[in-house]
Chains A and B, each alone.
Chain A
Amino acid sequence: MPKKENLEKVLVIGSGPIIIGQAAEFDYAGSQACRALKEEGLEVVLVNSNPATIMTDTHIADRVYLEPLTLDFLAEIIEKERPDGLLATLGGQAGLNLAVELAENGVLDKFNVKLLGTTLEAIKKAEDRELFKETMQKLGEPIPESTIVEDIPSAVAFANEIGYPLIVRPAYTMGGTGGGIAENEEELVDIVIKGLKYSLIGQVLIERSVAGWKEIEYEVMRDSAGNCITVCNMENFDPVGVHTGDSIVVAPSQTLTDKEFQMLRSASLRIITELGIEGGCNAQYALDPNSDRYYVIEVNPRVSRSSALASKATGYPIAKVSAKIAIGYTLDEIDNAVTGKTKAAFEPALDYLVVKFPRWPFDKFVYADHTLGTQMKATGEVMSIDRSFEGAILKAARSLEIGVNRLYLEKFAEYDDEKLKRQLTKINDERIFAIAEALRRKIADVDEIHNITKIDKWFLHKIKNIADIELRLQNEELTAELLLKAKYFGLADVSIAELAKKNVDEIRAMRKANNILPYYKMVDTCAAEFEAATPYYYSTFRGVEDEVTPSSSRKVIVLGSGPIRIGQGVEFDYCSVHSVWALREMGIEAIIINNNPETVSTDFDISDRLYFEPLTTEDVLNIIDREQPEGVIVQFGGQTAINLAASLSKAGVKVFGTSVDDIDRAEDRERFDEVLTETQIPRPKGISVTNLEDAIKGAEDIGYPVMVRPSYVLGGRAMEIVYNEAELRDYMSRAVKVTPDHPVLVDRYMQGTEVEVDAISDGESVIIPGIMEHIERAGVHSGDSIAVYPPQTLTARVLYTITDYTKRLATALNVKGLLNIQFIVANGQVYIIEVNPRSSRTVPFLSKVTDIKMVNLATRIALGATIKGMGLSAGYVPPRPYVAVKAPVFSFAKMQDVDIALGPEMKSTGEVMGIDYHYARALYKAIVGAGTHVPKNGSILFTVADKDKEEMKELAKAFYELGFKLVATEGTAKAISSMGIDVDIVGKMHERSADIIEMIKSNQIHMVINTLNQGQHIRRDGFKIRRATVEHGIACLTSLDTAWEVLRVLTFMRERRLIYSLAIQDYVGGGDGLA
């Protein structure tokens, strides 16, 4: 039982949807915390709007509320559940902000809820800029000097006092424009003049610039008795100036002397003590590379992304220990679960090096600015472990799944020396690749690169080591000795093969013949000082001893899904974890391979064995050689795992579930066409072309508009709808590289309703747990559409057809496990768009709302069970009496130059769910949960494409009748006034965006409905308007379908109670469902 008295029920707030800067790490932290609390016999109530999480599983918390994370909903839930305590420091900034709001609005006092762990006062001391400054000054901890000025003389006076360089940031600008670093007075004056102009309130913040200094972080724990420890420290490869979330990071620090290490460690302990944190805390420092001066940059009074990384890097479960501290335990009372012998009051000792590498969405947002700075842009990250920096950085590079196996980008190889040198000055996602290329070509040495980049020479020397061995591989005969050396420096077999001009199988054979094999070491928190019980491993070619003792029991490997990126999010980790649990339930040893430190799957007590390794053929085969499992499961790790199926199978590994050949039949366009012919299922007309001429001819045959995309894609990458030949020509030259090996698909674009199905098949019979209807018509990527379970508008005949097609496809493709199908319904006809013979993004959502353990059943089937054999009935499971809505969540505020208009390219980073007995309220919850600000009254701006004007008229009328004031651009206004409705015209044609942006800025417009005109030519104009809505936090609907549903919600809001909450257990009846 907890140490704190009168504590029986605890409320935990999750972090909501995945956005840039707040990703899966909080599902990991929250799940761990919930389990830690339940272990103590506490009743746990959890609120989180994100269905793609393990923490919202009904066995993780006693009461799970999948409700919007807003004050209203939390107050309702607190009133209903009456928890004794609230744990708020594990739900990221979102959870923390909400807790502060609840406290400040008196909700916690009213219902007598104690804030557990870190106090409100401590949170404010860390978060409030002024209070933080005061606290640090009291402690004597230096923070970068700063001031706010409104004129030039004050700026110069401050500069004279502090010295240069200085960083200037205008207050309140759109997208942080107008700032910069000043090295002298001339530059300062220049930047401040501009900044004052850009600032909406005529103010600029001037701060001492420590850009180029070493950036160091410490993860610290403190309990209520005042005991403090540091879990680990981390050093950024990228000096100060790049957000730590966008930096390559190593743990522990590599270039700090013991004096420096202890100086910053002691500062961290003083800070956490002064703030009075009870739980985990993160402190960031800038350390002068030329002296022992340092500044405190930031303190996070909560579990953070860095804590997740530190937990995985050390084996120390920060979230779990934080939860125990919150309920009153002290560090010396909490067990170290890794050793099982020692206590949480110690500091982990690492005997390996960890690298974290960010995963950026620039593959999706091709046109976005790649520059890295103070605004984080990465959606996810990978982590790697080895006993050398070279080994770890190369493992990280190949874990990213960006088409590289080493620090080599093809495009840099094509740059001339001058251009490459210029590239070194650019701080972006490709800097490390440019550095490697420069070292490889010897056009700059370590000293010169250090002078340009300020990256510590230690790191640069290591990259040089890699470059040197690469050159040797290119120029020398590949001997066993050289091969060993190459592995010692971490190069993958594929890289060695490429450099030595050999076949990868030859390299593998040569390695085996010479006994050059990886050794697997354990992550044990204590550098082998004590025997550890945790089966958490990494590989290294620098060793002589292997610590894995494979058991003789049945075992299966589950391949994880790698870093979080647009199109492959936390959903797949959810599926991997459930597959592991299913195997363990079956008494089979489950081994997981993954490289994402943010996830639940890489928590050390989820699987029987965890291998923190890249997901490449070589890395996986090496583990298979060591473990000798019965086989691997690939269907839950997204495209990452599916992509490995063929090569693993070729190497003789048994792939459980749908066969590799059947996967290919679903993914290969021509072979899939055969399947469709055989099963008599129609698809929109389309062709595959390998050159421009064929594309033009094909598009004419099919008829415009057509959907174009490269083959073998994930998440609709580079997919577009084109309306005429000119656009097609533009697309073919700009967006894709078309070659005989990489054909482009041209499909008829049908404007219909999209429908998505996830089904479980054993090859003979099929269970369809649910069907989801998309709100936005085809043309908007399914991942960016609002999905509704069960369908609200489909006829029985259509549903029957969908069920029938699903069965036909599942049996024809001999699917053993999960499959996901997307249909389009146009004019009452059902067409198929695509089949994915694997788990999908919607599986967690559907599992939760239907209470069917989809992954569990699929895992059993993959291993040989049948639906009949398990006593289950096949077919379409009748819909439940409630409605669940899944809405996408975007991170547009973080990506300044990305167009927010929805299209066939996926842009969302996360999702939320709304569930209710009323469709409109479920929709309301989803929309509000997604952070969309739906105005109750005010002005709506309409600016729509000609093709949408007819439909828009009715919509405008309906909003007008609800009491909204209408504003529109000229053409749109004409259409509206033709209905006899009042509408204000805004802007003249050529300058309308400026006028509109001005109105948005001055809060005269409260929602924008804007659809895209055909073609590209006037997109920039609309782009600016859409971006303005993001900067000012107002809703911008780019699909009329979404607008209709918002209208439905607004109508409902006038008639009904909006705030109504039930736990998911109440909806599904608390039973175990089918499984």
Chain B
Amino acid sequence: MRGKLVLEDKSVFYGELIGSSTVGEVVFNTGMTGYQEILTDPSYARQIITLTYPMIGNYGVSKSFNESRKSFAGGFIIGELCEEGSSCTYEESLQDFLQREKIPCLYGVDTRALTRKIRSAGTMKGAIVAENASEEEINAALLKPLVTDVVKEVTTDKIYTIEPYELKEEILIKRGKKDFTPHVVAMDFGVKQNILRSLSSLGAKLTVVPATAKAEEILALNPDGVFLSNGPGDPKDVGYAIEEIKKLIGTKPMFGICLGHQLLALAMGADTYKLKFGHRGSNQPVKDLKTGRAHISSQNHGYAVDETTLYNLPLEVTHISINDGTVEGMRHKELPIFSVQYHPEASPGPTDNLYLFDEFWNLMEKGA
């Protein structure tokens, strides 16, 4: 079926439509691989994801690449939708996956043109509809306010635990054979599986708690550290979590990623703001201000911490984006607390920053 994307500014992009109509914030990701990881990353919940790489679905879909229990994406806009995926991991075609997951997909779109539009006009609301949709239908869709606090839709509804992975010999050697198995409580704002896997790979026992968990409940679990996960939307929509994080600061070593990083900043009294079109891709360079080293990172964020609001707080910027200088990481000047805006767990993207999980382990080990 022919379909189209209509943006807030009335610009239209045509393509072939699979699934029903949808409305959401249109964002673009420049990664060349990892479409399945992107589709199943809960941070994209309710967003319409555009991929700039023009051929998608080349290696099909495999359960092993899922980053969460399902895809929360609002819609998917791509160039070519590959019908015949080819890979030894192939389980089903991307088209079948999209239909099964009920993700509306507009394909055959000039996603470069769409990206250029968003790049210059900023992130916008958009509606994917059938080509013959009426003006009224489109206007109604675009006028409806977007759902806020999407975190509640993606977080776990109950507490669960994950046993630590058996440690690899080389990690044990690196740690001087120290047999320390920390207990980490992860606050799930829409956590990616690979973050949990990365924590488990540290040899940590995990207790994953819902975004609405209270500080007291978390502390009652007696963790060695608290992890604040990634997740969708504006951090200011998650006021309830900010209040609990405030109470947790100073009690335990803490590590935040993406939304977790923003929530930590807000809890400390700093501010966040919305970027014009965000950072989404697998090629984003960050600079470690302590070592001067540049690292390539996977990123997916539409908001950033306002550096100017950190000056009077006991927080220091540890990482910045080499592209635009925005805050990509920070640490508490006195407490064992740090966070990054980017995704050290990769999936998709480069695995250059996995060392941050080791740093978290070190903090917990010191505190234990």
Contact partner of A229 (CB less than 8 A), chosen from B65, B83, B296, is B296
Is A225's beta carbon under 8 Å from chain B? yes
Q: Are B292 and A256 neighbours in the complex by a CB distance under 8 Å?
A: no
- Residues from chain A with a CB closer than 8 A to the CB of B53 are 349-351, 527
Q: Are A332 and B30 neighbours in the complex by a CB distance under 8 Å?
A: no
Q: Can you give 6 A-B contacts (C-beta < 8 A)?
A: A257-B62, A290-B88, A332-B287, A343-B323, A530-B119, A544-B14
Q: Are A258 and B30 neighbours in the complex by a CB distance under 8 Å?
A: no
Q: Are A527 and B112 neighbours in the complex by a CB distance under 8 Å?
A: yes
- Residues from chain B with a CB closer than 8 A to the CB of A331 are 294
Is B95's beta carbon under 8 Å from chain A? no
Is A458's beta carbon under 8 Å from chain B? yes
Q: Mark A259-281, 1 if CB is under 8 A from B, else 0.
A: 10110011001000000000000
- Residues from chain A with a CB closer than 8 A to the CB of B33 are 252-253, 256-258, 261
How far is B285's CA from A346's CA once the two chains are assembled, in angstroms?
5
Q: Are B13 and A544 neighbours in the complex by a CB distance under 8 Å?
A: yes
Q: Mark B98-136, 1 if CB is under 8 A from A, else 0.
A: 000000000000111101100110000000000000000
Q: Which residue of chain B has its CB nearest to the CB of A341?
A: B323
Q: Are B296 and A347 neighbours in the complex by a CB distance under 8 Å?
A: yes
How far is B89's CA from A261's CA once the two chains are assembled, in angstroms?
13
Q: Are A332 and B322 neighbours in the complex by a CB distance under 8 Å?
A: yes
Q: Which residue of chain A has its CB nearest to the CB of B279?
A: A529
How far is B113's CA from A332's CA once the two chains are assembled, in angstroms?
29
Is A870's beta carbon under 8 Å from chain B? no
In chain B, positions 165-179 with a C-beta closer than 8 Å to chain A are none
- Residues from chain B with a CB closer than 8 A to the CB of A254 are 55, 58
How far is B110's CA from A521's CA once the two chains are assembled, in angstroms?
11
How far is B273's CA from A39's CA once the two chains are assembled, in angstroms?
40
The 3 A-B residue pairs with the shortest CB-CB distance, nearest first, are A258-B34, A545-B113, A347-B283
Minimum CB–CB distance for B83 against chain A, Å: 8
How far is B350's CA from A343's CA once the two chains are assembled, in angstroms?
18
Known: A258-B37, A332-B287, A529-B115. 12 other contacts (CB 8 A): A229-B296, A255-B87, A347-B282, A461-B83, A528-B115, A542-B79, A542-B110, A543-B110, A543-B112, A544-B13, A544-B14, A545-B112
The contact size tier of chain A is 35 or more
Is B344's beta carbon under 8 Å from chain A? no
- Residues from chain A with a CB closer than 8 A to the CB of B37 are 258
- Residues from chain A with a CB closer than 8 A to the CB of B32 are 252, 261, 349-350
- Residues from chain A with a CB closer than 8 A to the CB of B187 are none
Is B281's beta carbon under 8 Å from chain A? yes
Q: Mark B270-285, 1 if CB is under 8 A from A, else 0.
A: 0000000000011111
- Residues from chain A with a CB closer than 8 A to the CB of B34 are 258, 261
Q: Are A529 and B86 neighbours in the complex by a CB distance under 8 Å?
A: no
Q: Given that A346-B322, A545-B110, A545-B116 are contacting pairs, would A269 and B352 also be in contact in the complex, using a CB cutoff of 8 Å? A: yes
Q: Are A265 and B294 neighbours in the complex by a CB distance under 8 Å?
A: no
Minimum CB–CB distance for B281 against chain A, Å: 6
- Residues from chain B with a CB closer than 8 A to the CB of A256 are 33, 59
Q: Mark A433-470, 1 if CB is under 8 A from B, else 0.
A: 00000000000001000000000111001000000000
Minimum CB–CB distance for A968 against chain B, Å: 62
Q: Are B79 and A529 neighbours in the complex by a CB distance under 8 Å?
A: no
Minimum CB–CB distance for B270 against chain A, Å: 25
- Residues from chain B with a CB closer than 8 A to the CB of A745 are none
Main secondary structure of the interface of A (DSSP, over half): loop
Minimum CB–CB distance for B95 against chain A, Å: 14
Q: Given that A349-B283, A543-B110 are contacting pairs, would A255 and B86 also be in contact in the complex, using a CB cutoff of 8 Å? A: yes
Q: Are B84 and A346 neighbours in the complex by a CB distance under 8 Å?
A: no
Q: Are B351 and A266 neighbours in the complex by a CB distance under 8 Å?
A: yes
- Residues from chain B with a CB closer than 8 A to the CB of A815 are none
Is B262's beta carbon under 8 Å from chain A? no
Minimum CB–CB distance for B147 against chain A, Å: 27
- Residues from chain A with a CB closer than 8 A to the CB of B283 are 346-349, 526
How far is B112's CA from A655's CA once the two chains are assembled, in angstroms?
35
Q: Which residue of chain B has its CB nearest to the CB of A488?
A: B108
Q: Are B89 and A257 neighbours in the complex by a CB distance under 8 Å?
A: yes
Minimum CB–CB distance for B169 against chain A, Å: 12
Contact partner of B285 (CB less than 8 A), chosen from A259, A332, A350, is A332
Q: Are A529 and B30 neighbours in the complex by a CB distance under 8 Å?
A: yes
Q: Are B349 and A262 neighbours in the complex by a CB distance under 8 Å?
A: yes
Q: Are B54 and A531 neighbours in the complex by a CB distance under 8 Å?
A: no
Is A831's beta carbon under 8 Å from chain B? no
In chain B, positions 80-99 with a C-beta closer than 8 Å to chain A are 80, 82-89
Minimum CB–CB distance for A795 against chain B, Å: 66
Minimum CB–CB distance for B74 against chain A, Å: 21
How far is B34's CA from A342's CA once the two chains are assembled, in angstroms?
24
In chain A, positions 871-899 with a C-beta closer than 8 Å to chain B are none
Is A403's beta carbon under 8 Å from chain B? no
Q: Are B349 and A258 neighbours in the complex by a CB distance under 8 Å?
A: yes
Minimum CB–CB distance for B34 against chain A, Å: 4
- Residues from chain B with a CB closer than 8 A to the CB of A342 are 285, 322-323
**B85, B115, B287, B294: which has the most chain A beta carbons within 10 Å?**
B294
Q: Which residue of chain A has its CB nearest to the CB of B354?
A: A266
Minimum CB–CB distance for B117 against chain A, Å: 9
In chain A, positions 317-346 with a C-beta closer than 8 Å to chain B are 330-332, 341-343, 345-346
- Residues from chain A with a CB closer than 8 A to the CB of B22 are none
How far is B284's CA from A345's CA once the two chains are assembled, in angstroms?
9
Q: Given that A229-B296, A458-B86 are contacting pairs, would A258 and B111 also be in contact in the complex, using a CB cutoff of 8 Å? A: no
- Residues from chain B with a CB closer than 8 A to the CB of A258 are 31, 33-34, 36-37, 65, 282, 347-349
Q: Mark B329-362, 1 if CB is under 8 A from A, else 0.
A: 0000000000000000011111110000000000
How far is B283's CA from A528's CA once the two chains are assembled, in angstroms?
13
Contact partner of B284 (CB less than 8 A), chosen from A226, A266, A346, A458, is A346
How far is B87's CA from A291's CA once the two chains are assembled, in angstroms?
9
Contact partner of B350 (CB less than 8 A), chosen from A262, A350, A519, is A262
Is B52's beta carbon under 8 Å from chain A? yes
Minimum CB–CB distance for A546 against chain B, Å: 9
Is A389's beta carbon under 8 Å from chain B? yes
- Residues from chain B with a CB closer than 8 A to the CB of A348 are 283
Q: Are B87 and A352 neighbours in the complex by a CB distance under 8 Å?
A: no
Is A144's beta carbon under 8 Å from chain B? no
Minimum CB–CB distance for A642 against chain B, Å: 35
Contact partner of A351 (CB less than 8 A), chosen from B85, B111, B322, is B111
How far is B279's CA from A526's CA once the two chains are assembled, in angstroms?
12
How far is B13's CA from A615's CA once the two chains are assembled, in angstroms?
32
Contact partner of A266 (CB less than 8 A), chosen from B86, B116, B294, B350, is B350
Q: Are B323 and A265 neighbours in the complex by a CB distance under 8 Å?
A: no
Q: Are B65 and A353 neighbours in the complex by a CB distance under 8 Å?
A: no
Is B144's beta carbon under 8 Å from chain A? no
Minimum CB–CB distance for B276 against chain A, Å: 11
In chain B, positions 288-344 with a C-beta closer than 8 Å to chain A are 292-296, 322-323
Is A387's beta carbon under 8 Å from chain B? yes
Minimum CB–CB distance for B160 against chain A, Å: 25
Q: Which residue of chain B has its CB nearest to the CB of A446?
A: B84
How far is B89's CA from A225's CA once the two chains are assembled, in angstroms?
38
Is A146's beta carbon under 8 Å from chain B? no
How far is B34's CA from A258's CA once the two chains are assembled, in angstroms?
5
- Residues from chain A with a CB closer than 8 A to the CB of B83 are 461
How far is B348's CA from A259's CA once the two chains are assembled, in angstroms?
8
Minimum CB–CB distance for A390 against chain B, Å: 10
Q: Are A226 and B54 neighbours in the complex by a CB distance under 8 Å?
A: no
- Residues from chain B with a CB closer than 8 A to the CB of A229 are 285, 294, 296
Contact partner of A457 (CB less than 8 A), chosen from B55, B86, B110, B292, is B86
Is A686's beta carbon under 8 Å from chain B? no
Q: Which residue of chain A has its CB nearest to the CB of B61?
A: A257
Minimum CB–CB distance for A300 against chain B, Å: 22
Contact partner of B52 (CB less than 8 A), chosen from A261, A527, A545, is A527
Q: Are B80 and A343 neighbours in the complex by a CB distance under 8 Å?
A: no
How far is B348's CA from A324's CA once the two chains are assembled, in angstroms?
31
Minimum CB–CB distance for B286 against chain A, Å: 9
Q: Are A227 and B54 neighbours in the complex by a CB distance under 8 Å?
A: no
Q: Which residue of chain B has its CB nearest to the CB of A269?
A: B352
Is A388's beta carbon under 8 Å from chain B? yes
Q: Are A351 and B110 neighbours in the complex by a CB distance under 8 Å?
A: no
Q: Mark B33-57, 1 if CB is under 8 A from A, else 0.
A: 1101100000000000000111100
